[in-house]
Structure 1
């Protein structure tokens, strides 16, 4: 190429880069107000393969619009953002539309752009590649976001599902740390942390959930989608995070909130479930005895609390030194006699047969009757 040809070539290149490309940017900015259809708007963008000199022009167009508000996002009711600040919608997530809605409500500049346009950004100018919505990006975005509490339950649950979607059990405590996304039974949300750093929250089966309804700030909501509940069960069993399954000792630690103040270490307390105001209720006690029998918990675990119902309208602590008597097999006359003598008769309608009761309850036979009577006599 002679000198004149090179000058013409340089002139044409500079004309495309410094004049036509900026003019095309202005055209796009003007077109935003002329059409309500983003499909039509994006169809006017140059995409595909181009030969020189047009490839030079297309490359420069994508460079100059990178910091201009030419992509449409639904944030704030509909706003135009630049490719530099935009985040591409995650089409691969199974509930991508719900996720996008939640992120937009939080002010995250999510955009939906034809893949052909995204490909051109990547092809011509790697520094101008549009970022994509990803679990790690959402977790980072939520770390400093104080308005998360303004979202509804469904949106928070979709954020929880998405933020967990790329994590192994070993990484959950570190990567989810500080995110208030643990759905609780009291309709609030607990904060994720590595184990022992914050309050621990508990996943429960249906029985545990009903028994612990009074401590909804510490148990995980069972009304969430089953897939998400199963995920939280897996986390509780396999991760170093502040979510745990229930066991006997954990169940016991909630007793001060399940029983009236002052009941701990009381040998006997009045209890009238027919009044409708007693706490715990009759249904609670039936469920409690079903639960501890199912899990074969040692009754010694609950020895500080009055848990044995008596026909006299009292609850007694389980004690080998002062046993109740089971009278189901005895005659009505014998039951009446034992009651008049002051024997503590087990009210069996509130509890199922439980093998450990034999340590704290006499059988309804001759030996049991005599031992029960002698026990009353020894107290006089």
Structure 2
């Protein structure tokens, strides 16, 4: 048993009256001790559930990020005219609404805006459809690439995917606790603003509950992240909703966030989200979007593509962003981008296979 960890556990687990928040340094220490297995299983389980009940602070999230920064993988800087976009999407996937972020990533990378994504397999507590499976269904298997090969894909195509079971195996044991506890611990919140990129980054994170937004803001500002975008998105993702006004916060040089409210109706979109059917159905829908077929999911792709083309500075406003997204999809540019990505990943996967056999 770790005496040091027990003291940290006592701080977060002492209840409403005597419990205390951890300092940034303490949160970093606790996170490292859990990842490295220096705390006992009983201590780790107790900490994760006590921390969830207490609720994390922005300072604690900053400390947890410090630990991930020290122990975790990073894609190295690539040359880019603008900061690399890092999308933070819930690791436990989607169960209700059709995800569009892989298409958004293809749109951005096709116009020279590099994108990094990160995630894992089907995970607790939702066990929803994860990013890795959507990419695999589109012909891009990120799961077998070691980090240096992923770096090469990122350099050549402008899209990178940090797959934690392969690239950050220290986190694997934590998932077993999440499964057994049946609740999302603060790790699930922190992952959304984790940035596994070593260069100048623009962190884009989704959230569900308004208090999370304030926590994110504090954690990012403490970590010196000056460019970030926070989206009250579909199922906590960065995908803009269509059934309600999108609530988005943009970072500025000042401590105050700029609030942007975007109504799909104002831009001629129908106000409903595309439901998520089977994975096969979604993949068929996405492939139709990539060849320019008109559909409800195409509307979602334009709504999101338009926003992110504007937010990354490629387009001057939402309307020109939407128009450019439509042009990119209907002209076949995005389908070609996907083929390029598939070819690069496959060629590097073959080299990896040959090297290991």
Tell me whether the two structures share a fold, i.e. TM-score over 0.5.
no
Q: Give the TM-score of the pair, scaled to structure 1.
A: 0.25
Q: Kindly name which structure, 1 or 2, has the bigger radius of gyration based on alpha carbons.
A: 1
Q: Which has the higher contact order (CA 8 A, sep 6+)?
A: 2
Which structure is higher in helix share?
A: 2
Q: Give the TM-score of the pair, scaled to structure 2.
A: 0.26
